[in-house]
Amino acid sequence: MSAVPDEPRILDAGEAALVVEFGSTVDPAISDRVLALDDALGADPPDGLRERVPTYRSLMLHYDPLVLDRDALAARVRSLAAAADARAATAILWTLPCCYDAPHGEDIAQVAERTGLSPDAVVSTHAEATYRVYMYGFAPGFAYLGGLPKALAVPRRASPRPPHPRNAVVIGGGLAAVATVPMPTGWYVIGATPARLYAPEREPSFFVGAGDLIRFEPVDAATFDALTAREAAGEPVARRGEAP
């Protein structure tokens, strides 16, 4: 685990945004600092702060320079970052059903070949882990997850594979993700969840937050289809619990 700098680095991103950097690695301690600052600004946002965008190691702040002075915002950030070393929000543990069976676990055989594990071991190793939601990015609802077991830490593909269905559960580059939008990908598709992490018609559209935890519960294809129908009818199938 890398050391977390005492004071963040504040960079300009054009004329109407700041990037507040807390480190340079994917690290729970760095993520905690990012989310603690996000919580603090969300609890008492200055006038002119338009949007907060947390990432693995930084928080981007979009602001209106005609309302909020850049140096005043930077000073506020430094003060809050020095005081906020723990998150105000409590992490939630979400259990998502996941079907690893055909046709959903399209790339399990390739992952097994690359890791030297059996296909069953790929599934059990993935399902037994607990994942941290670090950030959303790249596409609507695309949740980047840390905590992938080292045994499954395959590199991403040299070239993208054909588009996967929505809500694919994917791994690659030492990370896991839930990909809500069908698209070509360099990740390996090992399953699918009927739970919709992103639904624009729902409030909130993103029900899993950065800093929350996720576990995947294996289900068979018939159960997956039944849960998909329930989700489509407006009944959430993800289970919410208390983080350990």
User: How far is the C-alpha of 227 from the C-alpha of 185, rounded, in Å?
Assistant: 25
In the beta sheet, which residues pair with residue 93? Answer: 213, 241
Q: How far is CA 105 from CA 155, 164, 167, in A?
A: 18, 10, 12
Which ranges in the chain are annotated with CATH 2.40.100.10? 92-242
Q: State the architecture of 9-83 in CATH terms.
A: 2-Layer Sandwich (3.30)
pTM of the model as a whole? 0.86
DSSP characters over 119-169:
HHHHHHHHHT--EEEEEE-SSTT-EEEE---GGG-PPPPSSPBSPPPTTEE
Q: Which amino acid is at 41?
A: L
Residue range(s) in the chain whose domain bears CATH number 3.30.1360.40? 9-83
Identity (one letter) of the amino acid at 243? A
With beta carbons less than 8 A apart as the criterion, state whether 92 and 197 touch: no
Burial (CB < 10 A; 0-12, 13-18, 19+), residue 28, is: middle
Phi, psi (deg, nearest 5) at residue 71: -70, -35
The answer as to CATH 3.30.110.70 being correct for domain 92-242 is no
Q: Which pLDDT score, from 0 to 100, does residue 202 have?
A: 81
Find residue 9's DSSP bridge partners: 21
Residue 3 has pLDDT above 90, yes or no: no
Give the DSSP letter of residue 78: H
Kindly report, residue by residue over 66-125, the tens digit of the pLDDT.
999 999 999 999 999 988 766 766 789 999 999 999 999 999 999 999 999 999 999 999
With the CA atoms of 209, 212, 217 and 218 taken in that order, what torsion angle do they form, in degrees rounded to the nearest 10?
A: 70
